[in-house]
Amino acid sequence: MKVLISGASVAGPVLAYWLHRYGFEPTVVERTPAARHGLGGHAVDLYSAAAEVTSRMGCWDSIEAARSRLDSMTVERFGRRPVEVDLSRMYAGISSRHVEILRGELTKILYDASRGSAEYLFGDSIATLDDDGEGVDVTFDSGLERRFDLVIGADGLHSNVRRLAFGPETEVLRPLGGYLAVFSMPDVFGLGNHMLAHFSVGNLVGMYGVRQTGQVRAAFLFRGELTYDHRDKEQQKALLVKRFGDYGWKVPQLLEQLPQAQDFYFDSIAQVSLDTWHRGRIGLVGDAGYSPGPAVGGGTSLAVVAAYVLAGELAKAGAAGLRNYEDVIRPLVDNSRKLSPKTMGTIIPGSALAVRLMPGAAATLAKLPTSLQRLVWSQNEVGKVFSSTALPDYSDLLKPESGQPVP
Ligand SMILES: Cc1cc2nc3c(=O)[nH]c(=O)nc-3n(C[C@H](O)[C@H](O)[C@H](O)COP(=O)(O)OP(=O)(O)OC[C@H]3O[C@@H](n4cnc5c(N)ncnc54)[C@H](O)[C@@H]3O)c2cc1C
| pLDDT one-digit tens code per residue, 235-273 | 999 999 999 999 999 999 999 999 999 899 999 999 999
d(CA 165, CA 25): 22
* Residue 41: its H or E element: none
Q: For position 380, what pLDDT does the model report?
A: 63
What's the average model confidence in pLDDT over 369-374? Answer: 74
> Which residue's CA is the nearest one to ligand 1's atom 28?
156
Taking CA atoms, 12 is separated from 104, 304, 305, 374, 405, in Å, by 14, 9, 12, 32, 22
Report domain extents, the chain: 2-70+94-172+271-345+392-402
Q: How far is the CA of 357 from the centre of ligand 1 (A)?
A: 32
16: nearest Cα among 286, 376, 338: 286
Q: For position 378, what pLDDT does the model report?
A: 66
The pick from 9, 90, 121, 122 for probing ligand 1's pocket by mutation, whose C-beta has the most ligand atoms within 8 angstroms, reads 9
The CATH number of the domain covering residues in 2-70+94-172+271-345+392-402: 3.50.50.60
CA angle at 42 for the pair 360 and 87, rounded to the nearest 5°: 30
| pLDDT one-digit tens code per residue, 114-151 | 999 999 999 999 999 999 999 999 999 999 999 999 99
Percent of the chain scoring above 70 in pLDDT: 93
d(CA 304, CA 282): 19
Q: For position 11, what pLDDT does the model report?
A: 98
Reported confidence tier of residue 406, pLDDT bands at 50, 70, 90: very low
Reported confidence tier of residue 35, pLDDT bands at 50, 70, 90: confident
Mean pLDDT of the chain: 91
Q: How far is the CA of 381 from the centre of ligand 1 (A)?
A: 23
Q: State in Å, rounded, how far the first CA of the chain is from the last one.
A: 23
Q: How far is the CA of 372 from the centre of ligand 1 (A)?
A: 33
What's the average model confidence in pLDDT over 272-277? Answer: 96
Q: Which atom of ligand 1 is nearest to the CA of 160?
A: 41
Q: Which atom of ligand 1 is nearest to the CA of 286?
A: 26
Q: For position 87, what pLDDT does the model report?
A: 81
The pick from 4, 10, 138 for probing ligand 1's pocket by mutation, whose C-beta has the most ligand atoms within 8 angstroms, reads 10
What's the average model confidence in pLDDT over 356-361? Answer: 90
What's the average model confidence in pLDDT over 183-205? Answer: 94
Q: How far is the CA of 246 from the centre of ligand 1 (A)?
A: 31
For ligand 1, residues with CB inside 6 Å are 6-12, 29-32, 42-45, 103, 125, 154-157, 160, 180, 182, 265, 286-288, 294-295, 298-301, 303
3-state SS string for 283-326: EECCHHHHCCCCCCCCHHHHHHHHHHHHHHHHHHHHHHHHHHHH
Query: Could you say which DSSP state residue 252 is in?
Result: H
Reported confidence tier of residue 355, pLDDT bands at 50, 70, 90: very high
| Phi/psi at 177 (5° precision) | 90, 15
Q: For position 298, what pLDDT does the model report?
A: 86
d(CA 348, CA 355): 9
| pLDDT one-digit tens code per residue, 38-96 | 877 888 989 889 999 999 999 999 999 998 888 889 999 999 999 999 887 777 666 67
Q: Reply yes or no on whether the pLDDT at 209 is more than 80.
A: yes
The pick from 169, 266, 300, 386 for probing ligand 1's pocket by mutation, whose C-beta has the most ligand atoms within 8 angstroms, reads 300
